[in-house]
Amino acid sequence: MRRYLLAVAAVVLLASPLSAHHSTAMYQMDHPTTVTGTVKRFEWTNPHAFIYIDVKDEKGNSTEWEIELMSLNHLRSYGWVRTTVKPGDVITCTGGAAKSGAPSMISALLKLPDGRELRS
Amino acid sequence: MIGVAVAIGIALGAAQQAAPPAQPGESPYRIAGRLPVRIMSFDVQPKSIRPGEKVTLTWATENPQSISIDPIGRVAPRGTLTLTPSATTTYTLAVTGASNSADKRMVTVTVQGPTAVSATSASHLPKAVPRTADGHPDLSGVYGYGQAPGGRGGPPPAQPVLKPGAENFKIVRAADDTGQYSSCMPPGIPQSFFVPYYTQIVQAPKSVVIAHEYLNLHRIIPTDGRNHPPDPDPSWMGNAVGRWDGDTLVVDSIGYNDKTEINGYRHTESLHIVERFSRPDFNTLSYEATIQDPNVFAQPWIIRRNFPLLPEYDSLNEFVCENNRDYKPLFGNK
């Protein structure tokens, strides 16, 4: 629970100044990470939406990444709906990866299968 | 058949270019903030009607900063509207976005009849503040969040004057302290207005409901002239009563517990807040909170914010704190 709410704190920070450097401990926002994978499921929920994707390494091994997005009010304001991302879609997410090394990140920009880029 | 169906969808100056390239080490949010706007679709069906019949307007945009349909006004990034135009009308969807991007499309509904004339636009004209049957300004609506204290572009937050000996009520956080939003506990008043989630006001003749998307917090504030109950139980959101002072709703609240914080300061159960809500124009909710705690502050501390009306929304999103409880470890403690 504590971890989830750290993300709320992150959103509070991110939502106003969108600072390149912020004091939230969990994500590396100053060294963006880009991850491409196949969508397993999309959770269209507050406080945050989440996408879970399978990311394959060069050997073909698959790792599930947890992609945190902004809250629903932000996503709707960017043009999102709950069907914007669907299971099976291959998407590319750019954002900050967890400093812990866990396969988690918060995505700021997401590329859909047809090449459209959306704020996330 | 008198009229002839006319429907046009014209893309004017569509800006579909990619965002400017990222700079080394640049925040991904800054990169995303440059994505250009685009119109995905804009349509009306049917395109020809008889007087009194309905049409349905649908649209979808992505990465917008502003969206409006003339002659309707501000709309959500995606939506559907059922309309009954009385005359032939051309609807123009106009969007603007980052990197000076903009796009515009038009559709026309032909209303059959000998008196069909083009409707004139009034969406750019200032709208009057609505009033309820009893004459008060109607504050009802969904509002966006105000500028966070110290946030970009906003004035620096007003700082309180502490009573001598109350210095320890100022919260000093370590770098890894994640603050008051690190739990599912309510942030109280006025902080519930300062999170990046919307607020909805529903005004009734004898009460006003203020609902916050964040944590589903809400207050049902009586405006029927009653006073606070004697010695209310301390609570996260306090005990509030309201009254009208001219066109301003004044909400007096006591009965807070001492677990919340206000812009970086703790308080005691003697917290007393007077909030003043007004609607200086159609698009703005003006908010002023006067904070008093005789154990902490040497004088009343006033915090002001303006919250933008979001006429394109009519309700809040569901918020369930437990939705995100299965976060994966983010701090190396897998």
Tell me the pLDDT tens digit for each residue of B245-292: 999 999 999 999 999 999 999 999 999 999 999 999 999 999 999 999
- Cis before B46 (ω within 30): yes
Contact criterion met (CB below 8 Å) for B93 and B117: no
Residue B92 domain boundaries: 1-122
CB of A83 less than 8 A from some CB of B: no
Is B273 a member of any domain?
A: yes
CA B47 – CA B110 distance, rounded (Å): 6
Do B182 and B237 have their domain in common?
A: yes
Half-sphere exposure of B274 (CA within 13 A, CB side): 10
Do B165 and B308 have their domain in common?
A: yes
- Of A21, A19, A74, A18, nearest to A46 by C-alpha is A74
Shortest distance between the Cα of B196 and any Cα of chain A, in A, equals: 6
CA A4 – CA A82 distance, rounded (Å): 21
Angstrom CA distances, B150 to A70, B88, B153, stand at 21, 49, 8
pLDDT digit string (tens) for chain B, length 334 residues: 333 333 333 333 333 445 556 676 788 888 899 999 999 999 999 999 999 999 999 999 999 999 999 999 889 999 999 999 999 999 999 999 999 999 999 999 999 975 545 545 555 567 899 999 999 999 999 999 865 444 445 566 679 999 999 999 999 987 666 667 767 889 999 999 988 899 999 999 999 999 999 999 999 999 999 999 999 999 999 999 999 999 999 999 999 999 999 999 999 999 999 999 999 999 999 999 999 999 999 999 999 999 999 988 889 999 988 777 655 544 333 3
Q: Hunting for tokens 């997005």 — which residue is that?
A: A69
Taking only the tens place, the pLDDT of each residue in A81-116 is 999 999 999 999 999 998 888 999 999 999 999 999
pLDDT of amino acid A68? 92
Is B73 a member of any domain?
A: yes
Do B47 and B110 have their domain in common?
A: yes
Question: Which of A3, A31, A72 minimises the CB distance to B327?
Answer: A3
Q: What CATH fold (topology level) applies to the domain A2-119?
A: OB fold (Dihydrolipoamide Acetyltransferase, E2P) (2.40.50)
Q: Which residues of B195-224 are buried (b: 16+ CB within 10 A; e: fewer)?
A: bbbbbbbebeeeebebbbbbbebbbebebe
Average pLDDT over residues A11-29: 45
CA B255 – CA A59 distance, rounded (Å): 62
Is B135 a member of any domain?
A: no
For chain A, what are the domain ranges?
Answer: 2-119
Distance, first Cα to last Cα, chain A: 23
* Residues B191, B193, B196, B202, CA torsion sign: positive
Do B55 and B181 have their domain in common?
A: no
Question: Which of A11, A31, A120 minimises the CB distance to B196?
Answer: A11
CB of A67 less than 8 A from some CB of B: no
pLDDT at A31 over 60: yes
Is B242 a member of any domain?
A: yes
pLDDT of amino acid A1? 41
CA B84 – CA B45 distance, rounded (Å): 12
pLDDT of amino acid B179? 65
Chain B residues within 8 A of A72 when measuring between CB atoms: 317
pLDDT at A41 over 50: yes
Cα B86-B89-B92 angle, rounded to 5 deg? 140
Is B316 a member of any domain?
A: yes
* Residues B92, B43, B61, B200, CA torsion sign: positive
CB of B60 less than 8 A from some CB of A: yes
How many CB atoms lie under 10 A from the CB of residue B189? Answer: 25
CB of A97 less than 8 A from some CB of B: no
Boundary of a domain, candidates B122, B149, B164:
B122
- CATH at B83: 2.60.40.10
CA B243 – CA B239 distance, rounded (Å): 14
Do B175 and B247 have their domain in common?
A: yes
Do B94 and B177 have their domain in common?
A: no
Contact criterion met (CB below 8 Å) for A105 and A96: yes
Give the three-class secondary structure for B211: strand
pLDDT of amino acid B286? 93
> At B324, which amino acid appears?
N
CA B260 – CA B268 distance, rounded (Å): 9
Is B330 a member of any domain?
A: no
- Of B218, B212, B215, nearest to B193 by C-alpha is B212
Taking only the tens place, the pLDDT of each residue in A63-87 is 999 999 999 999 999 999 999 999 9
Question: Which of B25, B147, B151 minimises the CB distance to A30?
Answer: B25
pLDDT at A4 over 60: no
Residues 6+ apart with CB under 8 A from B313: B76, B142, B198
Do B109 and B205 have their domain in common?
A: no
Contact criterion met (CB below 8 Å) for B44 and B68: no
Is B131 a member of any domain?
A: no
Write down the ipTM of this complex.
0.80
Work out the burial of residue B101: count CB atoms within 10 Å of its CB; fewer than 13 is exposed, 13-18 middle, 19 or more buried: buried
Angstrom CA distances, A58 to A61, A62, A110, B78, B238, stand at 7, 10, 22, 39, 57
Q: How many domains does chain B have?
A: 2
pLDDT of amino acid B178? 60
Distance, first Cα to last Cα, chain B: 72
Q: Hunting for tokens 């703005």 — which residue is that?
A: B284
**Total length of chain B:** 334
Is B334 a member of any domain?
A: no
Do B73 and B160 have their domain in common?
A: no
Question: Which of B27, B181, B333 minimises the CB distance to A5?
Answer: B181
pLDDT of amino acid B113? 79
pLDDT of amino acid B85? 93
Shortest distance between the Cα of B183 and any Cα of chain A, in A, equals: 6
Do B245 and B308 have their domain in common?
A: yes
